[in-house]
Amino acid sequence: MKNILVIGATGQIGSELTMELRKRYGNEHVVAGYIPGAEPKGILKDSGPSEIVDVTDRTSIEAAVKKYNIDAIYNLAALLSVVAESKPMMAWRIGIDGLWNVLEAAREHGCAVFTPSSIGSFGAETPHVKTPQDTVQRPRTMYGVTKVTTELLSDYYHTKYGVDTRSVRFPGIISNVTLPGGGTTDYAVEIYYAAVKGEKFVCPVKPGTLMDMMYMPDALNAAISLMEADPTRLKHRNAFNIASMSFGPETIYAAIKKYVPDFEMVYEIDPLKQSIADSWPDCLDDTCARQEWDWKPQYDLDSMTVDMLEKLRAKLNK
Ligand code: AKB
């Protein structure tokens, strides 16, 4: 990979992925693609090139690809699961019409493409414990529908046109830089902010609601390692199960309380979030990722909690 375009570079994953890619490949080789209203700021803006790239506008993608001689695209434009339920057509337009634009630009200009899938690509009929790599995918959310379609369309472009498409199924991503917006797993980020601010946390899902989660450094490493993996070893492409930790709200609360003893949490269930969470797996089996490209996470719940609390205390001056 020589020149990389990140579409959605100011979002939760994009803002940190862009910086990590710049660290690894050189600042000038990684272009931050953003839409008006979500301009890059601070170090993200100052450390390298940025360009308006709207995933729903193919000409803006092609212009950036040509201008910077791009050979790999990380396509992170998407609406998260909860917000996609209130804007299903927009979720499709960004997730799928947008993906089509990216894949066409990639086909024409010889780019590799990473477009994340999610644990949301599974549904109620999927085996929930140690969910296999290849299994039932019948989600009933618009987010899930777009993620399954993302996987299929990306595989189609690989087999039909030879476009080098690769992807992982991200769990809930926990980070301390940019907040997620409108996901089912957002509570696992918000709980840390509440703990550091000294606020009582109101949890939107019931105790015992297990979902896969991952600390941002492992998520970034997964995306970049997969894109660098030897293609001859890849039996799968779109998309690999990856996993590092799975917990319910009572477990993350206990992990935080160990370091913030007077932290309090109450439950106020959000029926939409609860029903989406109930339809998702408890924990994925990531054997194929481990075998085909040596996936190995670094963080568990405790080491993530220590790091999150330290980083957020510094960020929030607490
Ligand atoms: C969401 O909750 O919508 C996302 C996801 C798990 O894909 N964080």
Per-residue pLDDT, 180: 84
Q: What is the CATH number of the domain that holds 144?
A: 3.40.50.720
How far does the centroid of ligand 1 lie from the alpha carbon of residue 57, in Å? 25
139 close to 123: Cβ distance less than 8 angstroms? yes
Q: Which of 68, 143, 157, 187 is catalytic?
A: 143
Q: Which of 157, 186, 199 is closest to 272 using CA atoms?
A: 186
Residue 294, domain member (yes or no): no
Q: Say yes or no: CB of residue 80 within 6 Å of ligand 1.
A: yes
Q: Which of 102, 37, 34, 52 is closest to 73 using CA atoms?
A: 102
Q: Say yes or no: CB of residue 11 within 6 Å of ligand 1.
A: no
Q: Are residues 57 and 186 in the same domain?
A: no
Q: Are residues 141 and 9 in the same domain?
A: yes
Q: Are residues 263 and 117 in the same domain?
A: no
The model's pLDDT over 212-245, given as tens digits with 9 standing for 90+, comes to 999 999 999 999 999 999 999 999 999 999 999 9
Residue 290, domain member (yes or no): no
Q: Are residues 39 and 93 in the same domain?
A: yes
Residue 288, domain member (yes or no): no
Residue nearest to atom 4 of ligand 1 (CA): 183
Q: Are residues 121 and 49 in the same domain?
A: yes
pTM: 0.96
Q: Are residues 136 and 202 in the same domain?
A: no
Strand order in the sheet with 72-75: 50-52, 30-34, 4-7, 72-75, 112-114, 165-166
Residue nearest to atom 6 of ligand 1 (CA): 172
How far does the centroid of ligand 1 lie from the alpha carbon of residue 64, in Å? 28
Q: Say yes or no: CB of residue 172 within 6 Å of ligand 1.
A: yes
Q: Are residues 121 and 20 in the same domain?
A: yes
169 close to 242: Cβ distance less than 8 angstroms? yes
The model's pLDDT over 175-218, given as tens digits with 9 standing for 90+, comes to 999 888 899 999 999 999 999 999 999 999 999 999 999 999 99
Q: How many domains does the chain have?
A: 2
Three-point CA angle 16, 13, 136, nearest 5°:
150
Per-residue pLDDT, 181: 86
Q: Are residues 160 and 201 in the same domain?
A: no
Q: Say yes or no: CB of residue 81 within 6 Å of ligand 1.
A: yes
Residue 32, domain member (yes or no): yes
Q: Say yes or no: CB of residue 118 within 6 Å of ligand 1.
A: yes
What number of H helices and E strands is found in the chain?
Answer: 13, 16
Residue 293, domain member (yes or no): no
Q: Are residues 225 and 251 in the same domain?
A: no
How far does the centroid of ligand 1 lie from the alpha carbon of residue 60, in Å? 27
In this structure, the number of other CB atoms found within 10 A of the CB of residue 211 comes to 24
Q: Are residues 197 and 303 in the same domain?
A: yes
Residue 292, domain member (yes or no): no
Q: What confidence category does residue 2 fall into, taking pLDDT thresholds of 50, 70 and 90?
A: confident
Residue nearest to atom 8 of ligand 1 (CA): 172
Per-residue pLDDT, 182: 94
Q: Say yes or no: CB of residue 141 within 6 Å of ligand 1.
A: no
Q: Which of 69, 10, 62 is closest to 41 using CA atoms?
A: 10
Average pLDDT over residues 53-77: 98
170 close to 214: Cβ distance less than 8 angstroms? yes
Per-residue pLDDT, 174: 98
Residue 289, domain member (yes or no): no
Percent of the chain residues topping a pLDDT of 70: 100
Per-residue pLDDT, 1: 61
Q: Are residues 186 and 115 in the same domain?
A: no
Per-residue pLDDT, 223: 98
Atom of ligand 1 nearest to the CA of 118: 7
**Cα–Cα dist 63/78, whole Å:** 21
Mutate to test the pocket of ligand 1, among 148, 170, 174 (most ligand atoms within 8 A of CB): 170
Three-point CA angle 143, 148, 153, nearest 5°:
120
Answer yes or no: 187 catalytic: no
Average pLDDT over residues 76-90: 97
Q: What is the CATH number of the domain that holds 272?
A: 3.90.25
Q: Are residues 132 and 89 in the same domain?
A: yes
Average pLDDT over residues 144-154: 98
Range of the domain at 265: 172-213+244-282+299-316
Residue 132, domain member (yes or no): yes
pLDDT above 70 (res 284): yes
Residue nearest to atom 7 of ligand 1 (CA): 118
Q: Say yes or no: CB of residue 185 within 6 Å of ligand 1.
A: yes
The model's pLDDT over 84-122, given as tens digits with 9 standing for 90+, comes to 999 999 999 999 999 999 999 999 999 999 999 999 999
